[in-house]
A and B are shown apart, each in its own frame.
Chain A
Amino acid sequence: MVDLTKGYPDKGYKIIGKPVPLIDSRAKVMGQALYTDDIRLHNPLTIKILRSPYPSANILSLDTKDALALKGVKGILTGADFKNTFGVLTISKDEPAIARDVVRYEGEPIAAVAAETETIAEAALKLIKVNYEITEAVLDSKTALKPTDRPLHPELNKENNLHKKVLQEFGDMEQGFSEADVVIEKRFRFASINHGFTEPHATQVEIDNKGNITVYSATQVPHYLHMAMAEVLEIPEHNIRIVKPHLGGGFGGKSDPFPHEMIAAKFALDLGRNVKIKFTREEVFFSHHGRHQTDLTMKLGFSKEKGITALGLDTLIDGGAYGSFGIVTTYYNGVLLQGPYKIPNFRFHVNRMYTNKPMCGAMRGHGGVNPRFASEVLLDMACAEIGLDPAETRLKMIHKENTLTTNEFRITSVGLQNGLKEAMRRTKWHEKYGKLPFGKGIGVACGFFISGSALPIHWNKLPSSTVRMTIDHDGGVTVYSGATDIGQGSDTMLAQMAAEVLGQSLGNIKVISADTRITPVDLGSYSSRVTFMAGNASRNAAIRMRKILVEAACALLDIDPPKYEKPEKSKDFFRQGGLKPDFEQGFLGPNPDYSDGFIFEDGLIRSENHNQSVTFLEAVEKALEFEGILQTSGTYRAPKLGGKFKGAGAGLSPSYSFTAFIVEVTVDSETGFIKVDKATCAHDCGFPLNPLAVNGQIEGCIHMGLGQALMEEMVYDNGATQNPSFLDYKIPSAFEQPVVDIVPTFSDDSEGPFGAKEAGEGILAPIIPAIANAVYDAVGIRLTQLPMRPDRVIFALEKAKKDKGATS
């Protein structure tokens, strides 16, 4: 195996920065890891959901009598059984667990059956009689803009189907465009795409004889599910325990509370029985929550001397029937353009519309992916028009460290420049760009993403993440975290933190995660927040534990314990909105140095000054004499950030990641097929905690970006999902995946745990425009619609030929 640490600085860590297989790999590779549907509860009922065949209808009547009479049917729920609606965002709780009176999308739950067997449940569905009055459906976001007296959500009191409008403007757009050497405006269109996680949604609920329920669910957000479920079921949160078993992929698609989770819990409570539900693949597509179908027009002003002088965009996103994360998506369509380059004059206007289609929500790269495509293609066009090298131009424009963006994002660490330079060297950029034969092309694009949202979705003053840590009497360390391992390896990351600080092997660290009865609150796995936030919390819990053990060791060695100093912070840091001094946390500032004059290794705790040591176990035993139990907590609190204007909170993050891609393609000009031959990626994730995991995220993002670029697309016909299967929804196979070259790229983030930042999402966006720019280099066409299907390539080639004929 190649040395994955090569190219990164050696910081002398034992576990951090080393390629470590994920700690649950062995269970997974043996088929022993239990996913939600693999759990076997005692005598569960099976739940099936009756779904609407119409995208827009009124439910005139619903007759469940015959279904209920069927032997083995234990219960039926309809919309009337749920008073409260819900939603992941407090500001748009617009989704019912089961449609009540009105159907808003094809596939929406109309009723649910719990029965002794799946066969009976299915038979019962066929006996439910629904009398629908089919109503005119709003099928696209343009139509949704038109005034109507029958909006999807009359409770919003709007004259059309607008869900959220965001308009922000910074600087002087007119001035910006007037300073430009070239101004380009173009319309871009993007299909809606699906997460395509392999494990369909599943939930099982276990009930005890006191009316408490344990909900095992394939969710990225146990905490939000916990809160939503308590509200929908109108029972206290402490009666509900949410447990996330092993989870087969999320990518944002399991980051909302879902109707089936509410339905399952309600059945368990009502019937006093354990219950289970699992979606078919088709139901996953009907539920969707994927990337918004987007129609955007972007205008770029570019000056040879100054770089980008102004950038403006008008965007219409099709949200589908309900809110989901949509308000965040709406903001992210604009604010995530604030990097990686300085944009002095910036304006964005985004409308999210309600339509009679399955709702859209968060998906890897949330909201930032589509506008990133547009901006990177426009930048490429500007470079081509002026005759600048697009890679060199980008290199010059990338944010410098410790600067503020135009909308007052605090940019701290930036390590992309060296990565992009190295990518250019490795790909022989200057020998290839513009010089390859017709059909072969090379392209570049960059991206930028948050390392966790600094503000919580549900406003509160709790830390962003908290981790509890214990040590057993025999020295075993356990990390308790609400962070949700969805396959990205967050459990491993938490264990690495503890192992490094406490000088333990990874095998000596147990991680218990995502169980709301046992683990402290963590907001979940979304917005690439886990490494930065839960990682810091785990590190801090371990540092507190270390302090206790060092004091115990000192007592055993009869030496004075070290004096801990608060880390010094520059005035600039605070001026830019750094962490407020936290007296409760004492020395636990952001990413504190824990050098204490002791070395934890080989089962020993050794004082460097006294050259004396005790064993780790002796220190543990001594500490237990003091404490009874060995337990610490560690927290992470995002610093106070951002400007004072309305909507300033969107996109605020304690740090940002930066990405560059150079992509090489072959375009078959007869068939229009684009083959991505090679993708060279430079991703600044700060200091990579686990290069094996980081590289896995990079390759996975390339796969997903490739899918959106070339073939993935949700197809609707009159509101009906046309391709709800893995046969018809085209996820690239191993054959389509390119050769990947990962350029070691890093920075040292002063607040990230051991210098780390996000690596799970930001990588996805720039691969797509890099492909489009390479296609331009190959055959001279600009594609402005995703997916870049072969027929669109052919169409563009023919049009280019005609245009050329007309001008020559």
Chain B
Amino acid sequence: MSTLLESFNYVRPTNLDQLNLLVMDYITKGYDFTFSAGGTDIIPRLKKQIFNPENLISLSGISDLKGIEKKGEIIIIGALTTLDDLANHDLIKKYFPTLAHAAHKVASPQIRNRATLGGNIMVDNRCSYINQSSLNRDCHAPCFKADGDICHIVKRAKRGDEVLCQARFVSDTAPVLLLLEANITIMGQGGLRKIKLNDLYLNDGIDNRSLRKDELITKIEVKIPENESLHYEKLAIRNALDFPSLGVAVCLSEQNLSVALTGLNPRPGLFKAKIKNYNNFDEMVSDICDQALAFAVTYNQDFFPRAYRKSMIPVFIKRGISNILKEKK
């Protein structure tokens, strides 16, 4: 029931060198810390006392992490670029209109003015237990994500299970970036490393990102697609504010059909089909729908019941395809 944030120490480095020194210092001293970009995901969780870091390192002062530029056929997006800037940037609108659209579908205008692309990729997984207030959570034993020993969503879950926590992934931008085969640059104490966005994610609701404590995303790189068309559709009862109950991104080219899913499992889903492997188009669509359905693990932890969310997967995939085909005409 708290409206007040628990106390923490706040630091705002103004460049990457300062940041690196600070993180090194904290790691050496064994301090507990967390990074904050726009803060729109972290602050509500702090208020609900879902976690209480001792130190909050604000990234908002580091201008090197902002901005969008084109280098050859690559568009480089600073991780701290706000979703609003992303959605309205000429380069993005020109080369990745679907990414602009997905960014525009996140939360609300006021939140998009503050929330960043890096933050949306990293948005914490949610479930109907953990994202309650501390009072509500106090009614029950703490769950795995709260360092406890049970799951309130999957009652039979136990330590040692392959997927311990089913808190679901809710980023709107990630599925589109996955289809665009985005790469991310990660900065940490060991220097920089570049990975595919798809390799960032683990199937673990507690923390689905393969990042070390000292690591953060600095930029997202996307290659301008040649003959691909994308579509993103979000299932939410309202046209504003809500997290996706299901999000389906579809990418269609002359050779391939690929689909990425959000709002379901702890990690996003990604499926590809090569047209040449099928007798006809419908067979391919049907196969990719089956793959998506086989992947999707839904629980009643959302406004919509699980069966409905699952049943919407093929509907949204087919709609995505038909929208792309319609636009092509």
A and B touch in the complex (CB under 8 A): yes
* Chain B residues near A730 (CB-CB < 8 A): 237-238, 242, 303
Contacting pair A720 B136 (CB below 8 A)? yes
Contacting pair A733 B3 (CB below 8 A)? no
B113 interface residue per 8 A CB criterion: no
Contacting pair B238 A735 (CB below 8 A)? yes
Contacting pair A791 B239 (CB below 8 A)? no
A314 interface residue per 8 A CB criterion: no
Contacting pair B135 A790 (CB below 8 A)? no
CA distance A520 to B238 in the complex (A): 45
Interface string of B300-329 (1 = CB under 8 A from A): 000111011001100100010000000000
Given contacts A711-B237, A733-B240, A789-B237, contact A670 B315 (CB under 8 A): yes
* Chain A residues near B307 (CB-CB < 8 A): 791
Contact of B238 among A49, A53, A736 (CB under 8 A): A736
Contacting pair B304 A790 (CB below 8 A)? yes
Given contacts A720-B139, A730-B303, contact A790 B240 (CB under 8 A): no
B241 interface residue per 8 A CB criterion: yes
Q: Distance in Å from the Cβ of B132 to the closest Cβ of chain A? A: 8
Contacting pair B238 A107 (CB below 8 A)? no
Contact of A727 among B1, B138, B242 (CB under 8 A): B242
Contacting pair A736 B133 (CB below 8 A)? no
Contacting pair B241 A722 (CB below 8 A)? no
CA distance A119 to B139 in the complex (A): 23
B63 interface residue per 8 A CB criterion: no
Interface SS majority for chain A: loop
A199 interface residue per 8 A CB criterion: no
* Chain B residues near A791 (CB-CB < 8 A): 304-305, 307-308
* Chain B residues near A32 (CB-CB < 8 A): none
Contact of B303 among A54, A728, A735, A736 (CB under 8 A): A728
Contacting pair B2 A122 (CB below 8 A)? yes
Contact of B139 among A53, A711, A733 (CB under 8 A): A53
Contacting pair A54 B128 (CB below 8 A)? no
CA distance A720 to B4 in the complex (A): 23
Q: Distance in Å from the Cβ of B110 to the closest Cβ of chain A? A: 13
Given contacts A733-B241, A736-B239, A789-B237, contact A282 B1 (CB under 8 A): yes
A732 interface residue per 8 A CB criterion: yes
Interface of chain A residues 514 through 529 with chain B (CB within 8 A): none
* Chain B residues near A722 (CB-CB < 8 A): 128, 132, 136
* Chain B residues near A721 (CB-CB < 8 A): 136
CA distance A720 to B128 in the complex (A): 12
Contacting pair A107 B308 (CB below 8 A)? no
A259 interface residue per 8 A CB criterion: no
Who on chain B is nearest to A118 by CB? B4
Interface string of A710-738 (1 = CB under 8 A from B): 11000000001110101110101111100
Contact of B3 among A118, A670, A728 (CB under 8 A): A118
* Chain B residues near A51 (CB-CB < 8 A): 1, 135
Given contacts A54-B139, A730-B303, contact A794 B238 (CB under 8 A): no
Who on chain A is nearest to B137 by CB? A53
Contacting pair A280 B1 (CB below 8 A)? yes
Q: Distance in Å from the Cβ of A402 to the closest Cβ of chain B? A: 46
* Chain A residues near B128 (CB-CB < 8 A): 722
Contacting pair B136 A735 (CB below 8 A)? no
Cross-chain pair count, CB within 8 angstroms: 76
Who on chain B is nearest to A106 by CB? B139
CA distance A286 to B90 in the complex (A): 46
CA distance A282 to B304 in the complex (A): 21
* Chain B residues near A283 (CB-CB < 8 A): 1
Who on chain A is nearest to B307 by CB? A791
CA distance A8 to B311 in the complex (A): 51
Contacting pair B237 A671 (CB below 8 A)? no
CA distance A107 to B132 in the complex (A): 14
Contacting pair A732 B308 (CB below 8 A)? no
Q: Distance in Å from the Cβ of A357 to the closest Cβ of chain B? A: 13
Q: Distance in Å from the Cβ of B201 to the closest Cβ of chain A? A: 24
Given contacts A51-B135, A720-B136, contact A790 B1 (CB under 8 A): no
Interface centre among B135, B243, B303 (most CB of A within 10 A): B135
CA distance A49 to B3 in the complex (A): 12
Q: Distance in Å from the Cβ of B72 to the closest Cβ of chain A? A: 39
CA distance A283 to B4 in the complex (A): 14
Q: Distance in Å from the Cβ of A408 to the closest Cβ of chain B? A: 44
Who on chain B is nearest to A726 by CB? B241
Q: Distance in Å from the Cβ of A98 to the closest Cβ of chain B? A: 15
Interface of chain A residues 2 through 56 with chain B (CB within 8 A): 48-49, 51, 53-54
Given contacts A122-B4, A280-B1, A733-B241, contact A794 B133 (CB under 8 A): no
Contact of A282 among B135, B139, B305, B308 (CB under 8 A): B135
CA distance A29 to B117 in the complex (A): 34
Contacting pair B3 A280 (CB below 8 A)? yes
Contacting pair A727 B133 (CB below 8 A)? no
* Chain A residues near B239 (CB-CB < 8 A): 733, 735-736
Q: Distance in Å from the Cβ of A720 to the closest Cβ of chain B? A: 5
Interface of chain B residues 236 through 258 with chain A (CB within 8 A): 237-243
Q: Distance in Å from the Cβ of B193 to the closest Cβ of chain A? A: 35
Contact of A732 among B235, B238, B305 (CB under 8 A): B238
Who on chain A is nearest to B308 by CB? A791
Contacting pair A53 B2 (CB below 8 A)? no
Q: Distance in Å from the Cβ of B1 to the closest Cβ of chain A? A: 5
CA distance A301 to B138 in the complex (A): 51
* Chain A residues near B308 (CB-CB < 8 A): 672, 790-791, 794
* Chain A residues near B4 (CB-CB < 8 A): 118-119, 122
Contact of A53 among B3, B138, B242 (CB under 8 A): B138
Q: Distance in Å from the Cβ of B274 to the closest Cβ of chain A? A: 27
* Chain B residues near A107 (CB-CB < 8 A): 135
* Chain B residues near A790 (CB-CB < 8 A): 237, 304, 308
Who on chain A is nearest to B314 by CB? A670
Interface of chain A residues 725 through 759 with chain B (CB within 8 A): 726-728, 730, 732-736
Interface of chain A residues 771 through 794 with chain B (CB within 8 A): 789-791, 794
CA distance A711 to B240 in the complex (A): 14
Q: Distance in Å from the Cβ of A611 to the closest Cβ of chain B? A: 62
Q: Distance in Å from the Cβ of B262 to the closest Cβ of chain A? A: 17
Who on chain B is nearest to A119 by CB? B4
CA distance A400 to B139 in the complex (A): 56
Interface string of A271-286 (1 = CB under 8 A from B): 0000000001011000
* Chain B residues near A670 (CB-CB < 8 A): 315, 319
Contacting pair A671 B241 (CB below 8 A)? no
Contacting pair A711 B238 (CB below 8 A)? yes
Q: Distance in Å from the Cβ of B194 to the closest Cβ of chain A? A: 35
Binding site for B on A (CB under 8 A): 48-49, 51, 53-54, 106-107, 118-119, 122, 280, 282-283, 670-672, 710-711, 720-722, 724, 726-728, 730, 732-736, 789-791, 794
What are the 7 closest A-B residue pairs judged by CB atoms, nearest first?
A791-B308, A735-B239, A733-B240, A53-B138, A53-B139, A711-B237, A733-B238
| 8 sample A-B contacts, Cβ–Cβ < 8 Å, listed by A number | A53-B139, A118-B4, A710-B237, A711-B238, A733-B240, A734-B240, A790-B237, A794-B308
Q: Can you add 7 more A-B contacts, CB < 8 Å, to A51-B1, A53-B138, A280-B3?
A: A53-B136, A106-B136, A670-B319, A722-B128, A730-B237, A732-B238, A790-B308
